[in-house]
């Protein structure tokens, strides 16, 4: 046994020529359409509509979604490749597409067939956009602490509450919303939460202020206010009062995508640093000829490749629906995002004063990387999950 896994075969990464062909096609799109406009995205704090529509035309909104529901298939591994390549140019761009997973995954895994056909198909085709509204002012990583309520009235629910840091809310046509349908039990704080599909146009749903976080310029989050929003009972996703499990299942999947964002950021920062170190002359020789810079470059490259391997490994396990993917997802998310933060910091240092200059496009990597260490469960929470999964998988115990 390879503690705590069953076999060394569990460490296999499943890739094939189609994955590489897809990566090259996305890289070409990024180089031609996105890289020349990164500054525009940062300065306007928005993704140009024509870029998004071109991604729809390329089928990116359907990557990882089964063909029977309007998608392109390819599983999580293909979605990770897409996220990595888009994040290399603009994390906001990857979020614009990737945020749909926080809606699509729970509906596909826990929703009725009617909900899948009604809501997933248009999202996969790029005809509609979707987001996920769970975080509240007093409940972030502590999902069981949400206070939004949903009261049953005849054949519908009335939802009231306030959500915050909701990515993609302004553009979304549909939201997956969590709310309390019952108070928590003394022995089960998570009990009593239910998830719902809520449509943008329904009375009482309001998009509040935009929250100007330090990174993600181009796709920054919003406040969402629900003031007695009537939701049909058929829009419940998953078992009543067990929405906590739906949410945890969703985040187990989504954190692999955040790891891929970290890999994309790390790749971009590493490329910038390496090119600059080769071209910049100091004391009569290239910057990279100095031992301290050589060491930085080697360490950056090591962390980058380790992050990529962890992320692809987690995606491969998830695509095979192996239970070990839960611990791999947290390993990948925490390591890849922290590696991205460290690599971005070194890239700035290698560039010196130019690294802190917005015009060079280097400092944005650090801003974006820090955000990835926080959302979809902070890295502190990921390490707690790793320890718990380790004990559970190895000894069948709960801590």
Q: Which residues are the active-site residues? A: 376
Query: In angstroms, how far is the first alpha carbon of the chain from the final one?
Result: 22
Q: Which helix (H) or strand (E) holds 394?
A: helix 379-395
* C-alpha closest to that of 208 among 162, 149, 146: 162
d(CA 264, CA 266): 5
CB 92 within 8 A of CB 164: no
CB atoms within 10 A of CB 109: 14
Q: Are 344 and 365 in contact (CB under 8 A)?
A: yes
DSSP summary character for residue 219: S
Which value, in Å, is the radius of gyration of the alpha carbons in the chain?
21
Half-sphere exposure of 10 (CA within 13 A, CB side): 16
Give CA–CA dist 197/259, Å, rounded.
27
Q: Do residues 264 and 83 touch, judged by C-beta distance below 8 A?
A: yes
Q: 5 vs 13, 222, 317, 318, 399, CA distance in Å?
A: 15, 40, 12, 15, 19
């Amino acid at each position: 046994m390879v503690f705590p896994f069953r076999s060394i075969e569990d460490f296999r990464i499943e890739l094939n020529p189609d994955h590489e062909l897809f990566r090259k096609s996305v890289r070409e799109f990024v180089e031609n359409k996105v890289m020349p406009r990164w500054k525009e995205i940062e300065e306007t704090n928005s993704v140009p509509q024509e870029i998004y529509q071109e991604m729809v035309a390329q089928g990116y909104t359907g990557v990882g979604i089964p063909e029977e529901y309007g998608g392109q298939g390819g599983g999580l591994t293909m979605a990770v490749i897409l996220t990595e390549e888009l994040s290399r140019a603009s994390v906001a761009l990857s979020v614009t597409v990737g945020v749909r997973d926080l809606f699509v995954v729970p509906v596909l895994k826990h929703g009725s067939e009617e909900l899948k056909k009604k809501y997933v198909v248009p999202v996969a085709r790029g005809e509609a956009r979707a987001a996920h509204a769970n975080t509240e002012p007093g409940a972030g990583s502590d999902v069981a602490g949400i206070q939004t309520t949903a009261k049953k009235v005849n054949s519908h629910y009335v939802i009231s509450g306030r959500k915050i840091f909701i990515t993609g809310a302004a553009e979304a046509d549909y939201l997956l919303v969590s709310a309390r349908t019952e108070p928590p039990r003394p022995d089960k704080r998570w009990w009593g939460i239910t998830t719902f599909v809520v449509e943008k146009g329904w009375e009482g749903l309001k998009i509040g202020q935009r929250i100007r976080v330090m990174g993600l310029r181009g796709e920054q989050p919003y406040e969402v206010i629900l003031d007695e929003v009537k939701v049909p009972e058929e829009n419940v996703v998953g078992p009543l009062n067990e929405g906590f499990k739906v949410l945890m299942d969703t985040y187990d999947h989504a954190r692999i995508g955040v790891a891929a964002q970290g890999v994309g950021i790390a790749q971009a920062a590493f490329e910038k640093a390496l090119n600059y170190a080769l071209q910049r002359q100091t004391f009569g020789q290239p910057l990279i000829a100095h031992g301290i810079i050589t060491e930085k470059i080697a360490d950056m490259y090591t962390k980058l490749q380790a992050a990529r391997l962890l992320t692809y490994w987690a995606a491969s396990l998830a695509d095979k629906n192996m239970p070990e993917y839960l611990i791999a997802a947290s390993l990948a998310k925490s390591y890849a995002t922290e590696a991205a933060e460290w690599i971005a910091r070194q890239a700035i240092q290698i560039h010196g004063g130019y690294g802190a200059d917005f015009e060079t496009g280097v400092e944005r990597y650090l801003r974006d990387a820090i955000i990835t260490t926080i959302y979809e469960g902070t890295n502190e929470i990921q390490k707690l999950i790793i320890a718990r999964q380790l004990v559970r998988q190895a000894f069948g115990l709960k801590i």
